[in-house]
Each structure stands twice: as structure tokens, then as C-alpha cells.
Amino acid sequence: MFKIEPKCSKCGKGIKGNEEVYIQMKYPARKGFTEIKAYLQNEGQFICEKCMEK
């Protein structure tokens, strides 16, 4: 799904496939939703489940 290797922005842990993650991002103001993948690579911050529980 993602070509990038997502990492948790808090602990730096790599996100494995099928792992539940949270994405913190600003909603694109001008770009269409079709560009969401590219937008995520630039603006998205992944947070792993463990860090989210804290």
C-alpha cells in the first residue's frame, strides 16, 4: 500500500504490515483527495499503537 517505510514519529519504531497505526496530519487545504498518498509521505506523521496509548 505504501511505498515509504513508515516509522513512528514518537519512538522511531518501524511500522510493520497489518499493525494498527495512527496518522496525524493536516487536512489538505488545496490538494484533492486523490493526492493523499503523496501528501501523507510529505506531511503525515505515523504514531504506533504503543505511543498512542500513553
User: In whole angstroms, how large is the CA radius of gyration of the chain?
Assistant: 12
11 binds Zn ion (CB under 5 A): yes
> If we measure between CA atoms, which residue out of 39, 45, 43 comes closest to residue 6?
45
CB of 2 to Zn ion, least distance (A): 17
Spell out, one character per residue from 24 to 53, where the chain touches Zn ion: x when CB under 5 A holds, - when not. Answer: ------------------------x--x--
21 binds Zn ion (CB under 5 A): no
How far are the Cα atoms of 12, 15, 38, 54 from residue 27, in angstroms, in the given order? 23, 22, 13, 24
Pick from 10, 39, 40, 45: which binds Zn ion (CB under 5 A)? 10
